[in-house]
Amino acid sequence: MKHYLSINDIDSVNGWVEDALALKKKPLAFKKLGRKRTIGLLFFNNSLRTRLSTQKAAMNLGMKVMIMNFGKDGWALEFEDGTIMDKGNAEHVKEAAQVVSQYCDILGIRAFASLKNREADEAELVINSFKKYASIPVLNMESSVGHPLQALTDLITIEEYKKSADPKIVLSWAPHPKALPQAVANSFIEIMQLKNANFTITHPEGYELDPKVTKNSRIEYDQEKALKDADFVYVKNWSNYKNYGKVINQDKNWMITEKKLGNAKFMHCLPVRRNVVVEDAVLDGNQSLVIEQANNRTFAAQIVLKKMLETLK
Ligand code: AN0
Ligand code: CP
C-alpha cells in the first residue's frame, strides 16, 4: 500500500517530474486506470486549489470523487486515544477512518497545524490517525508539517520554466498579518534538497524553520543579497517556529516588489495577500508563475494518484 505523506515518498524525483509533464500534454492518457476506484477527500481546513486540482486529477484518471468538509459538515472528530468523550467531539477517528475505508480506495486528508502546540503538530495526529486506522492509502493534502503535493508542483514548474541546467532558487519569507503554518516552506525546502538545487533561504533573524528540515541549506538573512541574480523567487510567509506559531515580525520591507525581483520568476503557492506579501505589479506582470503553478497542481496530483493506483490490488 503506497501512501503519499511527505517528499520522502517520492522514489524518483526526476522520473515523477518527467511523467507529470507528459501527463500535462496528455491528461487523459490513463483515463481507465482508476475507473473502478473512488477517492475520498476529507478537508479539516479551507481550500480552493487542492480540492479542485486533486478532484480534476482523479477525474482525469477515471476515478469517482467524494469530498467532505469537516469544518461544517462532518461530526467533530476525536483523535486522542482513551479519552472520555463527554465534550464536543462526537465521533472517534478509529470508527471514522474504518468507515471511510469501506467507501473509498484512496483517502486524501487536509489538516493544518494548530500552531498552538509544536510537539502535537509535529506528531501529525490527524493524518497519522487516519493512516493508522484506515485500511487504504492516505494522500497528504497539507498536514501540520508538510504540503508535498505543492512542493512537487513547484518543482515541476521550475523544471518547466528554467533556462539553465542549475538555476538559482531562493525561498523568501514575506510578512503576513495572520499566523500561517510552516508546511509549504518545509516541503519546498525538502524537495530542493532532494534535487540538490542551487538554493538559498532568506528570512528575518529569528524566523529559522525546524533545523531538522533546513539541515545544511544556505540561509542568508540579508534579503537583497539572497535575491541577487536569482532565477526563481519562491515567496511564502510562515509563523515563528521557535516562538511557536507567533507573528513577531510584520516588517513591510520584506514584501516582494518588482525592483527586488529583478529578472527572476515569481512563485507562490496561493492564496496570496496582494500588497502585503507581494505588490500588485509582480502578480500582474509577466514574471509571475502563480497561475501556472496552480495549473500544475493537477498534474502533480495526477502523477501521485497514478503511482498510488498502480499499487492497489
Ligand atoms: C495556508 C498555509 O500557509 O499553509 C495554505 C497554503 C497552501 N495558507 C493560508 O492559510 C493563507
Ligand atoms: N496552494 C494550495 O494548497 O491552495 P489551497 O489552500 O487553495 O488548496
Q: What pLDDT score was predicted for residue 71?
A: 83
The answer on pLDDT for 227 being more than 90 is yes
Q: Is the CB of 113 under 6 A from ligand 1?
A: no
Q: How many CA atoms lie within 13 A of 235 on its CB side?
A: 31
Over residues 29-54, mean pLDDT: 98
Q: What pLDDT score was predicted for residue 190?
A: 98
The C-alpha atoms of residue 197 and residue 150 are separated, in whole angstroms, by 17
Rounded percentage of the chain residues whose pLDDT exceeds 70: 100
User: Which of 50, 188, 295 to mutate for ligand 2's pocket (most ligand atoms within 8 Å of CB)?
Assistant: 50
The answer on pLDDT for 72 being more than 90 is no
Average pLDDT of the chain? 98
User: Are 149 and 141 spatial neighbours (Cβ–Cβ below 8 Å)?
Assistant: yes
User: Model confidence over 90-117: pLDDT tens digits?
Assistant: 999 999 999 999 999 999 999 999 999 9
User: Model confidence over 14-39: pLDDT tens digits?
Assistant: 999 999 999 999 999 999 999 999 99
Atom of ligand 2 nearest to the CA of 293: 1
DSSP 3-state of 177: coil
CA of 48 to the centre of ligand 2 (A): 6
Q: What pLDDT score was predicted for residue 1?
A: 78
Query: Of 9-23, 66-80, 205-219, which gets the smallest average pLDDT?
Result: 66-80
User: Model confidence over 231-242: pLDDT tens digits?
Assistant: 999 999 999 999
DSSP 3-state of 91: strand
Closest CA to 129 of 161, 162, 94, 163: 94
